[in-house]
Amino acid sequence: DGDGSSDDKYKNEQASIEVLRDIKFKLVDHVYFVRIWSTRSIKSVVNTASVWKPDTDLSWYAKLGRQKELIRLGHFGVVGYLAPHKEKHASHNSMPQILQMTDMGAMGISGASRHKNILNKLLPHPVRFHLVWSKVQGKQPLFAWEAIPPSNDFVALGHVFTNASAPPVLRDIRCVPKHWLTISNTVPRLVWTDVGTVGRSGSLWSVSTMNHLVAVEGHNPPQRDFYDFRCKNFFCTSDFRMVPAT
């Protein structure tokens, strides 16, 4: 029956896995945005819309000794010109959300280095961007980019939007471990179609419960899976598995 060495090795590996209790993740409603683009300068446009980037520049701060960071996972869009959290149809269930990481071990130089290493392993930046669609009309062009994760173990939740034909900087968003996610049951919601404009037709859609924005060619809904987090408040283990916070 063997000497049991394989079983002992398995038990030792399991024993070495622990919950990182000083690192906590939470999905939070977000209210700080920078406008990337709007339809204001397109005179022939039939529908109005605007595209917004979550502002996380002031997200690294200390509060009651806890280090918190807001993590951008995609951009947002709305019908009209109000910021996403002010959009008139917004409700608690449809507010734009962002991932907050609280690292109570990130104090001092060594703690900050540890924090950065964990963040880069858990939520890596994409390795490159792929141009999905663009609308070059009016004073402000729009380019929609799909982030390519470093491996199939990670997912990019939303597109990144720019006003230039050069790809975004890789640090603009982070990717999420696929095992933290589940396929979303939320039907994509139309934000804008480019009816009345010239050039390659396209449309913008809000997807998943986090309301990230994606672009597609044509005016039909995107035909692929989108993802929601398995839970909204959680820890992770030393092997980066999700553990719901109680």
Q: For residue 113, what pLDDT is reported?
A: 75
The closest alpha carbon to 67, from 97, 109, 28, 105, belongs to: 105
In a domain, 41, yes or no: yes
> In angstroms, rounded to a whole number, what is the distance separating the alpha carbons of residues 2 and 163?
64
Given a contact cutoff of 8 angstroms between Cβ atoms, the answer to whether 13 and 237 are in contact is no
Token pair of 62, please?
Answer: 């200390």
In a domain, 13, yes or no: no
In a domain, 103, yes or no: yes
In a domain, 212, yes or no: yes
In a domain, 177, yes or no: yes
In a domain, 232, yes or no: yes
In a domain, 4, yes or no: no
CB atoms within 10 A of CB 48: 14
Q: For residue 95, what pLDDT is reported?
A: 81
Q: For residue 7, what pLDDT is reported?
A: 47
Give the domain range for residue 73: 18-244
For the chain, the domain total comes to: 1
What pTM, to 2 d.p., does this model score? Answer: 0.85
Q: For residue 82, what pLDDT is reported?
A: 92
Q: For residue 28, what pLDDT is reported?
A: 92
Tens-of-pLDDT digits for all 246 residues of the chain?
Answer: 445 444 444 343 443 456 677 789 999 999 999 999 999 988 888 899 999 999 987 644 444 445 778 999 999 999 999 999 887 544 435 688 899 998 876 555 555 677 788 889 999 999 999 999 999 988 899 999 999 999 999 999 999 999 999 999 999 999 999 999 999 999 999 999 999 898 899 999 999 999 999 999 999 999 999 999 999 999 988 788 899 987
Q: What is each CA distance from 66 to 60, 115, 188, 244, in whole angstroms?
A: 10, 12, 36, 20
The closest alpha carbon to 222, from 206, 210, 198, 211, belongs to: 206
Cα-atom radius of gyration of the chain, to the nearest Å? 20
Q: Is 85 exposed, middle or buried (0-12, 13-18, 19+ CB in 10 A)?
A: middle
In a domain, 205, yes or no: yes
> In angstroms, rounded to a whole number, what is the distance separating the alpha carbons of residues 115 and 113?
5
